[in-house]
Structure 1
Amino acid sequence: MSKNIVVFLVQSTKGGSKKRLCEAVRRMSKEKKCYIIASSSDFPLDIRNNENIELVNTPDQNAFTNTLAFTLLSTIKLLKIIYKYGSSIEWVGSFSANAGFSIALLSPFIDTKIFCVRRGANLRRLKIRLREDMNRNALSHIKGLLKIFIHKLISKAIFASSDLLISQTESGIRQLENEYDDWLPSRRAVLRNNVDATWIVRRRNCAVNDPIKLRCDVFNVCYVGRMQLLVKGVDSLLNAAEKLKKDDICFHLVGDGKDMKKIHDHILSKSLKNSVNLYGWMDNPLKIMVESDLLVVPSRVDPCPNVVLEAFAVGTPVIGSNTGGIKAMLHYDDLLFNPGSPKEISKMIRDIATDREVYDDISSKCVDLKDKHCFDWGGNLTKVFREYKYHTGIYKPIDI
């Protein structure tokens, strides 16, 4: 019997994992039947209407986005698919950190290849959050330690049961090797995210046609991401903004998160209201980004920020932290600063804002990086599945 079915699992349908999964099934559904097990049916219309794609969602309730509950329900759903199709299934895999736990539980009974897509750095983010919890109370600290323990346990089970590990950057693979080397599958591949992904193109077109107009008499700097002071480096960006508040530079912060109130209070206490605009969550932040002169990605930990690709797509230059996936994506030293360094960030922004030659240089470098990130992501994932077993070390269908 021919193997013509691929099963994908993703827990959250709100982030980048779902978007990458959609790119995969758009391509693979041309040749194979694809099943998606997710915590919600919230997928684009072209995915829902594709006859070769079947959505198998667990109950769409907040309670079921919990990892253990999703694992229980997705295990049942996956078991039904395995029982029905058996040896026709070619691959079963997960697109988010915890979604693969149900696959790990069933792996002794699955006669098919198993893959997992991981960005890396999840454990590092949890450890930074644990440092934040130490400043609150003992109970929060204990919960943080327990979360790290459970995360490591689940990750080890997923890696041990997998035949193939896929990450978006080589640094993501290296981070996972540092934490889990003895548990990782021997076959590993790097598949970068692409700038011409369907969801980025749709957002870009909408933003270009209906941008949010910004002031023309200042240099506009944009941040897009979760509002987290330490992990996302928003504290460093705010401190840089304080150093630049007398310059003709305006900051635009787009996103939401647990530190939103602290950030709002900081803006007021440091008298930054005239130079820092806090927008909160936006359905399409590219409407701000397309009008901005510069995007800053100040994260201390970020394995593969899609916001960099979004900036490339709308033609906005980017600078970011010299760490992890940001370093891999931006490549050039003069687009990078040390994470957690407001002094470096403020100097770079001032130089870019006041020196046209510097601005044109970083813009040119970003255009070059954009061109390198244009490729068929789903097609290259298909290539990874087809070619992975013939390669040792880290397989790269596209080496940027």
Structure 2
Amino acid sequence: MKNIIMFSTSEIFGVRKTGGLKRFLELYKYYEKSKNYNVEFYSGDDDLVLRKNKILNYTSLKRKTNNKFYVPNELLIFFQNFKHINNLKKKKYDDLIVFDVPTALSLSLLNCKDINLFIRQDLIGYKSISLKEKTNNTLLKKVYLNMLKVAEAICLIQSKKVIVQCEYDLNKLLERHKLLKRIIAKKSFVQINNINPTWIEQKNNKNIEQKSFSFENIGFIGDFSNQRKGHELFLKAIERINSDDSNELNCNAIVIGDGDSFDFYKTKYENQNVSFIGRVENVKEYLANFDLLVVPSFADSCPNTILEAIYNDVAVIGSKAGGIPEILNYEEALFELSVEDLVSNIETISKEENYYLLLQKQLNRKEELMFNWSDKIARIVENENIN
């Protein structure tokens, strides 16, 4: 029987359940149900929450954080939990699973062995966008991003395996760390996400041929904390379409999400046929009513919103950014990061013939993305050939 340690400093059962946290929990449940593994679970959830969620063998980590971007929260968490992490290092285990560089850094600095590092985001790309919202100090941003690059290099060197979601993220790692290129390439694996993880429920059971043509409700799901998810691009495109008197298309936009700038954009655009729903627990209830989902991200590795749309046969288009073209690998579904190109794409898809062509290609992609993700990941960790 093999011993697996799954390490996260996040609140896995907290209010904000990101795709990465859901994947982490999904993998834990896979290992925990198997008779071939003993699993130890580290997270930032408190004892009561972990017991309530039936986590048996766990360590609860302290996570006192702050909102100052120049004082990394993971560094604070490292000092608070130094004893726990040092004890982890001394344990006998076969594999240590950790998601993303900020969390893996403390393990790498303490020279923990057999780290399987899951890269769930283009760290430098994501942070570059978020920093634009926080400071205009060019020098400070450059220093901070270089610190992240060094941290990333340390984790890549220390890891036994590096598992990414898309070729784009792997290429970015190789491009940033040219001196480590051969080392990174040798230990890296690309495994795209599936569209049928256990937390996704299928709501739309109609065949494409049975769906009556409708093109009224266009949806956006994303965070308003910074521009990474492209909410401003989406809203400007909807405004452009609805203000054009010569255009027969009239869209009702439905925006789901929250964040620091949510109220600003709500005030600015809610009279433009845009409904601002805010943050919701059950996104799939809204998703089922979308005629089209738009994902205009400026940086994204493998957006769960796209995967859920494909699974539920909801038409979806996305930007040519990050790993999105690796999911939507047909030209009809992709647009450049400009208002003009997004407007053009929406207008093209609004034609019935083009709409059903998109859905048919999406249906073919759906078949390709139906598989057991946890099983494939476990086989990568086990050094098995998954082809």
TM range, normalised to the smaller chain? 0.7 to 0.9
Check the 8 A contact 2:129/2:227 in 1, yes or no: yes
Alpha-carbon distance in 2 for matches of 1:351, 1:10? 44
Aligned to 2:310: 312
Amino acid at match of 1:57: S
Rounded Cα–Cα distance in structure 1 between residues aligned with 2:27 and 2:198: 11
Residue pairs, 1:74-223, within 5 angstroms: 74-83=81-90, 85-86=91-92, 89-107=93-111, 110=112, 112-133=113-134, 137-138=136-137, 141=138, 143-183=140-180, 185=184, 186-201=186-201, 204=202, 219-223=216-220
CA–CA separation in structure 2 for the residues paired with 1:56 and 1:309: 32
Identity %: 22
**Equivalenced residues, count:** 361
Matching residue of 2:27: 24
For the structure 1 residues 42 and 221, does the alpha-carbon distance in structure 2 shift closer, same or farther, using more than 3 Å as the test? farther
CA distance 1:127–1:119, change in 2 (3 Å): same
Deviations 1:49-90 (A, max 9, x none): 255xx232213655599211222344422332343x42xx00
Per-residue Cα deviation, 1:120-165 (whole angstroms, up to 9, x for no partner): 422012223344456xx54xx5553443233223212211111110
Query: Given that residues 228 and 234 in structure 1 are in contact (C-alpha distance below 8 angstroms), is that contact kept between their aligned partners in structure 2?
Result: no
- Matches of 2:194 and 2:49 in 1, distance apart? 19
| Aligned with 1:71 (options 72, 78, 91) | 78
TM superposition score normalised by structure 1: 0.82
Question: Which residue type is aligned with residue 60 of structure 2?
Answer: N
Q: 1:382 matched to which residue of 2? A: 378
Match of 1:253 in 2: 255
Q: Does the C-alpha gap of structure 1 residues 321 and 356 become closer, same or farther in structure 2, counting only changes over 3 Å?
A: same
> Which structure 1 segments of 5+ residues have no match?
209-215, 391-396
Offset of residue 330 of structure 1: 0.3
How far, CA to CA, are the matches of 2:128 and 2:157 in structure 1?
23
* 1:21-49: CA deviation from partner (whole Å, max 9, x where unpaired): 11212222212111222222599989932
Q: Secondary structure at the match of 1:238?
A: helix
CA distance in 2, matches of 1:376, 1:42: 30
Give 1:6's aligned amino acid.
I
The answer on whether the counterparts of 1:17 and 1:96 sit within 8 Å (CA) in structure 2 is no
User: For the residues of structure 1 that align with 2:216 and 2:47, how far apart are their CA atoms?
Assistant: 38
Greater CA drift, 145-154 or 28-37:
145-154
SS in 2 for 1:302: coil
Match in the other structure for 2:233: 236
RMSD between aligned alpha carbons? Answer: 2.8
* CA distance in 2: counterparts of 1:314 and 1:42, whole angstroms: 36
Partner of 2:209: none
The alpha-carbon distance between structure 1 residues 45 and 175, as it changes in their structure 2 partners (threshold 3 A), is same
Judging changes above 3 Å, is the alpha-carbon distance between structure 1 residues 318 and 74 closer, same or farther for their aligned structure 2 residues? farther
Deviations 1:304-332 (A, max 9, x none): 11111111122211101012211111000
* Unmatched 5+ stretches in structure 2: 206-212, 244-248
Q: Is the 8 A contact 1:222 1:251 kept in 2?
A: yes
Letter in 2 for 1:234: H
Task: Assess if the C-alpha contact under 8 Å between 1:225 and 1:255 holds in 2.
Answer: yes
* Structure 1 residues 198 and 75: CA distance shift in structure 2, 3 A: farther
How far apart in 2 are the matches of 1:359 and 1:46?
Answer: 48
- Contact kept, 8 Å, 2:309 with 2:316, in 1: the verdict is yes
Q: Cα distance, 1:5 vs. partner?
A: 0.9
Identify if the C-alpha distance between structure 1 residues 74 and 308 changes in structure 2 by more than 3 Å, giving closer, same or farther: farther
Separation of aligned partners in 1, 2:41 and 2:268: 43
When normalised by structure 2's length, the TM-score is 0.84
Deviation at 1:175, TM superposition (A): 1.3
- Give the corresponding residue for 2:276: 278
Q: Does 1:350 align with 2:347?
A: yes
> How many Å separate the matches in 1 of 2:97 and 2:233?
37
3-state SS of paired residue (1:94): strand
**Aligned to 2:39, which of 29, 34, 51?**
34
Indicate conservation of the 8 Å contact 1:75/1:103, yes or no.
no
Contact kept in structure 1, 2:222 and 2:231, CA below 8 Å = no
Matching residue of 1:365: 361
Q: What letter matches 2:278 in structure 1?
A: G
Check the 8 A contact 1:11/1:96 in 2, yes or no.
no
Q: Distance in 1 between matches of 2:216 and 2:274?
A: 12
8 Å CA contact 1:294–1:316 kept in 2: the answer is yes
Q: CA 1:370–1:218 in 2, change beyond 3 Å: closer, same or farther? A: closer
TM superposition shift of 1:231: 1.9
Q: Which moved more, 1:42-51 or 1:149-158?
A: 42-51
Give the drift of 1:250: 0.8
Specify the code of the residue in structure 1 equivalent to 2:123.
N
1:182 Cα deviation from its structure 2 partner? 3.1
Provide closer, same or farther for how the CA distance between residues 200 and 66 of structure 1 changes in structure 2, counting only shifts above 3 A.
same
1:277-296 to 2 correspondences below 5 Å: 277-296=275-294
| Cα contact 1:75–1:106 (8 A) shared by 2 | no
| Cα displacement (A) at 1:380 | 0.6
